[in-house]
Amino acid sequence: VRKIGVLTSGGDAPGMNAAIRSVVRAGLYYGFRVYGIRKGYEGLINGDVEELNARSVGDILHKGGTILQTARSPRFTTEEGQKKAVSMANVFDLDAVVVIGGDGSHRGARDLSRHGVNVIGIPGTIDNDIGSTDYTIGFDTALNTVQDALDKIRDTAYSHERCSILEVMGRHAGYIALNVGISGGAEAVILPEIAGSLDIDKDVIKPIIEARNRGKKHYIVIVAEGAEGKAIEIERAVTEKTGLEARATILGHIQRGGSPTVHDRVTASVMGVKAVEVLMNGGKNRVIAIKNGKLVDIDIDEALEMKKSLDEEMIKICKILSL
Ligand code: ATP
């Protein structure tokens, strides 16, 4: 019987459990034995491995986080660490390792593949910043969490006629910021993709003053964590230059938790089955992705060369609607 390992790595994302469940159940369905590797690459190095059955993944579909836990493993980025990980994959006789995680985790999977371990990547990160796929598991849930927080902040901003500055996650990418900028009706959105050009007067102060002159009673500014301006700096600038009360809120890890949305559960389930089917069909070193609405698998080396960028049209729409 062929054996598959499954691990989650990097930042946790809602829907990772749904993906684990899917890999385990599809694996069993197709006659594999499936092993859970705890704490990402760190667990692989340490041999923290346990066989999973259909019941081990019962009652987790709706839970945030990851039952396998996750880790950032500096050891795994070294040649020595990777060799240990490979030898452990051999100890457990794993034919393949399914890696659920973000861009860094996919790079780690590629390194494993270069050492002879067959890997399949499943994109899981709230940041949606993996070049090879239009969508990553966890993104939709994070958007809804941020939107929920923003709606609450908007209530109090309106009551006090304040300017609220909300710093959202996304690492070096502005997918969360831009989408919530549109869904939450922000006056200004500060994106990392428009680097080197932040002009607080033009990009933040002017839209707020114009909005005030048009009779608005509250003002929302979304700042991506990877952007040039920090929420606290913008808070200070708005207070000094407009006389409005400004309040910065850094949402932080609330954005990573919570029960996954239907979209994330379905995407994770579909990707998990696809990962196992790719293995069934003899696939080697592939990543699962969504491209133009279609579920596909791509060679991992090619996938890691792929780039994507924020949709210019969405940036324009965000500006038009902030009037
Ligand atoms: P997220 O962006 O959601 O936090 P991620 O998967 O990008 O997820 P990282 O911390 O970048 O998170 O990566 C997770 C782990 O993958 C790292 O701790 C490291 O062990 C491994 N890894 C990251 N980058 C590389 C790389 N370039 N080469 C080899 N391994 C890597």
DSSP 201-264: IIIIIHHHHHHHHTT-S-EEEEEETTSSS-HHHHHHHHHHHH--EEEEEE-GGGGG-SPPPHHH
**Cβ distance 98 to 44 under 8 Å?**
no
Each residue's pLDDT tens digit, 180-192? 999 999 999 999 9
**195, pLDDT greater than 80:** no
Q: Using alpha carbons only, how large is the chain's radius of gyration in Å?
A: 22
| Model pTM above 0.80 | yes
Alpha carbon of 71 to ligand 1 centroid (Å): 9
**40, pLDDT greater than 80:** yes
Average pLDDT over residues 5-11: 97
Which DSSP symbol is given to 198?
Answer: -
**Cβ distance 57 to 25 under 8 Å?**
yes
Secondary structure in 3-state letters for 20-64: HHHHHHHHHHCCCEEEEECCHHHHHHHCCEEEECCHHHCCCCCCC
3-class SS of residue 66:
coil
Each residue's pLDDT tens digit, 69-105? 999 999 999 999 999 999 999 999 999 999 999 999 9
Q: What is the dihedral of CA 70, 90, 300, 132, to 10 degrees?
A: -20
Q: Is the CB of 175 under 6 A from ligand 1?
A: no
Secondary structure in 3-state letters for 261-284: CHHHHHHHHHHHHHHHHHHHCCCC
**One-letter amino acid identity for 103?**
D
What is the overall mean pLDDT for the chain? 95
Q: Is the CB of 10 under 6 A from ligand 1?
A: yes
Closest CA to 141 of 63, 193, 231: 63
pLDDT at position 188, please? 93
pLDDT at position 323, please? 75
Percentage of the chain lying above the pLDDT 90 cut = 92
**119, pLDDT greater than 90:** yes
Measured in whole angstroms, how far is the alpha carbon of residue 232 from the centre of its chain? 24
How far apart are alpha carbons 176 and 180 in whole angstroms?
Answer: 6
Say which residue the tokens 């029960």 belong to. 259
Element (H, E) at 315: helix 312-321
Q: How many other CB atoms sit within 10 Å of the CB of residue 169?
A: 25
Which DSSP symbol is given to 74?
Answer: G
Alpha carbon of 296 to ligand 1 centroid (Å): 23
Measured in whole angstroms, how far is the alpha carbon of residue 61 from the centre of its chain? 18
Q: Return the best residue to mutate from 8, 44, 72, 105 for the ligand 1 pocket (most ligand atoms within 8 A of CB).
A: 105
Structure tokens given for 67: 């039952």
How far apart are alpha carbons 64 and 176 in whole angstroms?
Answer: 18
Measured in whole angstroms, how far is the alpha carbon of residue 8 from the centre of its chain? 12
Structure tokens given for 189: 């959105």
Q: Is the CB of 171 under 6 A from ligand 1?
A: yes
Percentage of the chain lying above the pLDDT 70 cut = 99
How far apart are alpha carbons 95 and 52 in whole angstroms?
Answer: 16
Q: Is the CB of 76 under 6 A from ligand 1?
A: yes
Kindly provide the ipTM of the predicted complex, given to two decimals: 0.94
Q: Return the best residue to mutate from 9, 75, 84 for the ligand 1 pocket (most ligand atoms within 8 A of CB).
A: 9
pLDDT at position 1, please? 67
Measured in whole angstroms, how far is the alpha carbon of residue 32 from the centre of its chain? 28
Question: Which residues carry out catalysis?
Answer: 127
**44, pLDDT greater than 70:** yes
Each residue's pLDDT tens digit, 262-276? 999 999 999 999 999
Each residue's pLDDT tens digit, 204-259? 999 999 999 999 888 999 999 999 888 999 999 999 999 999 999 999 999 999 99
22 in a known ligand binding site: yes
Each residue's pLDDT tens digit, 247-302? 999 999 999 999 999 999 999 999 999 999 999 999 999 999 999 999 999 999 99
218 in a known ligand binding site: yes
